[in-house]
Amino acid sequence: MPLPYFLGCPQWQHPAWNTRLPSGSAPLQRYAQVLNCVEGNTTFYATPTLEQCSLWRTQVADDFRFLLKFPRNFTHDQLLAVSQKEVREFLEITGPLHDVLGPFLLQLPAAFGPNHLGNLWRFLDNLPTPLTATVEVRHGAFFQKGEAERALNRGLRERKTARVCLDSRGLFAAQPDSGSIRDAQRKKPNVPVHLLPVDAQPVIRFIGHPDLASNRQYLNPWVERVAGWIDQGVRPFMFIHMPDNGDALGLVTLWSEMLNARLPHAPVVQLNEKQPQMGLF
């Protein structure tokens, strides 16, 4: 039975996962036997080669989805005031993945404020069909329910573009008593959980509390929300993060158990063995 939604992590390999994933010829191939999507953080920091993208395509099933991040140069350095030539060259390199691409992730920095929305609309409007994007904002004005947030949400609705919902409540409820927690709290935004209903697949990025069981209270509302979407025929994207992503697979299991208790046809992820019931191969 395939997963009726998309579930993944911000990366497809971690040393702590070596004994928890099925055997395989490459890290991505092993990961894709268990999970059916991944955040493409690698493309945020460096553009892969055409050959790398072609290789990645051979390692995943047709139902797998990459949500590749647009390069940092586009989003952070140029605040989306980027030439069409640069965008076209990036999209040509990712071309071998065309049939397994979810929406591209536009992760915008806190410096990207209301006065930059024109750049966002031009960027989105110039994306070639059928490519789409999902937008994550971090500027405080976009979380104050004022005119800036209304303008953002209105523009996204008009373009049928999802607003990434970042839920970092668990992370910031943790005591900063380890290097990984302090580093995650420094890098991740502490913003309210704002969810925008829009005619596009929802994208949730959940950053958990380092104590696995403490995440239940933060995951419970998402269990209901995701189950409701699935019942409506929507396939949301649920990405699981931890302060130390070596622990992310444990949270993946907890999440899938909680959702399965509410929605029995959403299979529980079983680690360290192949998952034929997930229908990925």
Output the six-digit token pair for 116: 């930059």
Task: For the beta carbon of residue 228, count every other beta carbon within 10 angstroms.
Answer: 13
Please tell me the distance from the alpha carbon of residue 77 to that of residue 217, in angstroms, as a whole number.
37
Residue 275 is predicted with a pLDDT of 38
Q: Which CATH class is domain 6-278?
A: alpha beta
Residue 101 is given by DSSP the state B
The full set of domain ranges for the chain reads 6-278
**What tens digit of pLDDT does each residue of 166-221 get?**
999 999 999 999 999 999 999 999 999 999 999 999 999 999 999 999 999 999 99
Round to whole Å and give the CA distance between 119 and 13: 34
Per-residue exposure over 37-53, b if at least 16 CB sit within 10 Å of its own CB, e if not? bbbbbbbbeeebeeeeb
Per-residue pLDDT tens, the chain, 281 aa: give them: 689 999 999 999 999 999 999 999 999 999 999 999 999 999 999 999 999 999 999 999 999 999 999 999 999 999 999 999 999 999 999 999 999 999 999 999 999 999 999 999 999 999 999 999 999 999 999 999 999 999 999 999 999 999 999 999 999 999 999 999 999 999 999 999 999 999 999 999 999 999 999 999 999 999 999 999 999 999 999 999 999 999 999 999 999 999 999 999 999 998 974 433 333 32
pLDDT at 1: 66
pLDDT of 277 = 38
pLDDT of residue 2: 83
The closest alpha carbon to 139, from 110, 172, 97, 170, belongs to 110
Whether this model's pTM surpasses 0.85: yes
pLDDT of 278 reads: 36
What is the rounded CA–CA span in Å between residue 200 and residue 126? 18
Residue 274 token pair: 């192949």
